[in-house]
Amino acid sequence: MVTIRPERDAGRATSLSTTWVVTDSRKRQGGLSLEHVGFFNPIARRSEPKLKLDLPRIDYWVSKGAQQSDRVRTLVAS
């Protein structure tokens, strides 16, 4: 099954930013992903975007049967 879920960014251990990826649900988190569809940075500075989504690609993957995690579903709806 394919799923859309957030993945922690590599870098600082205290970083809260996440990249949203489309991945096979049987693979471990941080493994190879099929596609990056956005990012979320809750502590972004004023000039930096806090949330960036590729909604057409998310809709495409959902139409192909991908499941969204709860967090992704909440942020896509807002």
State pLDDT tens for residues 30-39. Answer: 677 889 899 8
8 three-state secondary structure: strand
Going by the DSSP 8-state scheme, the letter that residue 9 receives in this structure is P
Q: What is the pLDDT of residue 16?
A: 76
Q: What is the pLDDT of residue 13?
A: 61
CB atoms within 10 A of CB 37: 23
pTM of the model: 0.78
Q: Which residues contact 57 (CB under 8 A, 6 or more apart)?
A: 22, 35, 37
Stretch 23-29: mean pLDDT, rounded?
Answer: 78
What gap in Å lies between CA 50 and CA 33, rounded to an integer?
A: 22
Query: How is residue 49 written in tokens?
Result: 């975007």
Q: What is the pLDDT of residue 24?
A: 84
